[in-house]
Amino acid sequence: MEHTIKLHTRENGRFVVKTVATDKYFTVCPYQVGDDDLEEVEVLSVSDLYLMWQELKAGDKSCGENCWKYHFYRHEIKPEHDERTGKPIFIDYVTPGKVYRRGNKVFFKAVTED
C-alpha cells in the first residue's frame, strides 16, 4: 500500500507537477501577517522547497508585493491501522520549520511553536 501525491519536482531546470509515491515531502505556504496560510505548494525535496520559495519571492518582487511571508512544513506519511475499522490508513505528521542555505547545501530545521 503506497501513498501517492501530486508534487512539484524540478525537471530540466523547470518545475513540473508529477504524481509520485513517497512517504516524505515538503510544503511552502504564503501568508500575510494576520491571515491564515493560503494554498500550499507541495515539493518533493528540501532543495526543491528552497528553489520554489525563491521563485515565489521573485514573483512577489516583480509585482511590487512586499507583504508576503512564508511558512515551511515537512510532511511524513506513515501507514497505521484504524482501530475502529481495522483497515490501514495514512497519517500525515506535519512539522513546521525553517529553510536555510549554507554554501551550496539547503537544510530544513524543525521549529517548535510556543
Cell, residue 81: 491501522
- State the Cα angle at 15 between 23 and 54, rounded to 5°: 95
The number of domains in the chain is 1
What's the Cα-to-Cα distance from 40 to each of 9, 36, 52, 88, 109, rounded to whole Å? Answer: 14, 11, 11, 26, 19
Q: 71 lies in which domain range? A: 4-110
% of residues, the chain, pLDDT over 90: 45
CB 10 within 8 A of CB 49: no
The pLDDT, as a whole number, for residue 1 is: 56
pLDDT in tens, 31-84: 887 776 678 899 999 999 999 999 988 888 887 777 788 999 999 999 888 888
